[in-house]
Structure 1
């Protein structure tokens, strides 16, 4: 990629990130007071600084992911200020040189708890397998606060929406985990739209040929039924 194309791509990423941030703050301003809004801005600024030198596999600035997760938490799950702050911060402890204690000092016990639940354990701390221990860690939080699970579901949902940038073996692993654990969890929590989207995205990567065939058949069916729909709409307007 030449310098001009790279500059254009970076500008595109920055505009998307800023649009997501603006949408979050506009939405949250209708729900929270001035003090909480100031903390939300601080949470974003802290996450942006912590991830400033990191990129996603797609080449996007890493902060685009926490921002997208925070937008899902605010817009699609309709949660309050602390879960949105936790969404901004959810990879800071795992991927940056900061601790849960620093999150607690800056944003309080509640945000620190939520971040702690969604932060993966270090390798030398696994009791069994990595995923078994992480799943157990998340599920144990439900008895205290389901919001932590919702932040993690938002994290997984955005990762699935952007899975195309990963290697095929990673795609298969993440899609299988999603179908086995996260989609049923969303279903049990009554998040049927999230459950359906996770299942569809998982199927797309686990069974790409079958997914493409079904997608083609649905498109053909929709096209064949369009004249009937147009006639029905015309009659309702008479």
Structure 2
């Protein structure tokens, strides 16, 4: 969850809006401190526009009153502290405390207590030691209890989904471990939150990692039966329309 890289330089959409567009504007004093800090970083607006402008467009479409300046400051902070670390795509602040020298006290001063609590909540979840499947329910309850704000879980699920989408860069044993933890812990959490699209993708990516051959066979079978399924659904839709007409 670091500085975005890749040929397009654009952020993936589904991982960002859940984690970034619900925050309220922080007090003026943290903003002033942040401007002073960014001035020392030497950041400017223009090089970031190719990354931030598409993100701002997505944010505006879902949250017209969102504080875009807050998101820009978050990007600048993450870009500075994660400089030199790259991945295929990335979120902004939630890994800065865990993975860099940026402290929770600095983050609180720069962005306010609300955002600091969200970042701190995600950091605490990351420190949970996942175990065998027999302990999965206990771990899920622990994570829920630790998350005083539901947005912490939403951010963590977006974090885990991003990790699975870029899993190929990890060692094979870590890929398997991450996929198993996802099936035991995070997919059920997504289900409890009603985030079904996220749940399905978490499960698909995890299963493809653990059982790639079986996954490919299932994909081929689904593709083979897709035309028949579409015709069947169309017939049902037509019949329902006739009944309701």
**What TM-score, normalized by structure 2, do the two folds share?**
0.66
1:205-216, aligned counterparts within 5 Å? 205-216=209-220
Alpha-carbon distance between aligned partners in 1 of 2:142 and 2:116, rounded to the nearest angstrom: 15
- Pick the aligned partner of 1:48 from 47, 59, 79: 79
Aligned length: 189
Matched with 1:65 is 90
Cα pair distance change 1:137/1:100, threshold 3 Å: farther
Matched with 1:194 is 198
- Pick the aligned partner of 1:23 from 5, 29, 54: 54
**What TM-score, normalized by structure 1, do the two folds share?**
0.68
Matched with 2:96 is 92
Matched with 1:3 is none
| Kept after mapping to 2: 8 A contact 1:204/1:211 | yes
Matched with 1:139 is 144
**Residue 116 of structure 1 pairs with residue 114 of structure 2:** no
**Residue 14 of structure 1 pairs with residue 28 of structure 2:** no
Displacement of 1:198: 0.8
Alpha-carbon distance between aligned partners in 2 of 1:39 and 1:16, rounded to the nearest angstrom: 17
Displacement of 1:38: 1.3
Matched with 1:130 is 129
Matched with 1:79 is none
Displacement of 1:100: 0.5
* Structure with the bigger percentage of helix: 1
| Kept after mapping to 1: 8 A contact 2:93/2:119 | yes
Matched with 1:151 is 155
Q: Which segments of 5 or more consecutive residues in structure 2 lack a partner in the other structure? A: 13-48, 132-137, 239-245
CA offsets, 1:84-126, max 9 Å, x none?
Answer: xxxx10111111111001110000001000000111589xxx7
Structure possessing the higher relative contact order (Cα contacts under 8 Å, 6 or more residues apart): 2
Matched with 1:37 is 68
1:154-169, aligned counterparts within 5 Å? 154-169=158-173
Alpha-carbon distance between aligned partners in 2 of 1:116 and 1:134, rounded to the nearest angstrom: 18
Matched with 2:20 is none
Alpha-carbon distance between aligned partners in 1 of 2:51 and 2:124, rounded to the nearest angstrom: 25
Alpha-carbon distance between aligned partners in 2 of 1:134 and 1:22, rounded to the nearest angstrom: 39
Alpha-carbon distance between aligned partners in 2 of 1:89 and 1:120, rounded to the nearest angstrom: 14
Matched with 1:181 is 185
Cα pair distance change 1:21/1:199, threshold 3 Å: same
Alpha-carbon distance between aligned partners in 1 of 2:177 and 2:72, rounded to the nearest angstrom: 35
SS at match of 1:65: coil
SS at match of 1:98: coil
Alpha-carbon distance between aligned partners in 1 of 2:125 and 2:196, rounded to the nearest angstrom: 29
| Kept after mapping to 1: 8 A contact 2:104/2:120 | yes
Matched with 2:107 is 103
Q: Which segments of 5 or more consecutive residues in structure 1 lack a partner in the other structure? A: 1-9, 67-87
SS at match of 1:131: coil
Displacement of 1:190: 0.9
Cα pair distance change 1:103/1:196, threshold 3 Å: same
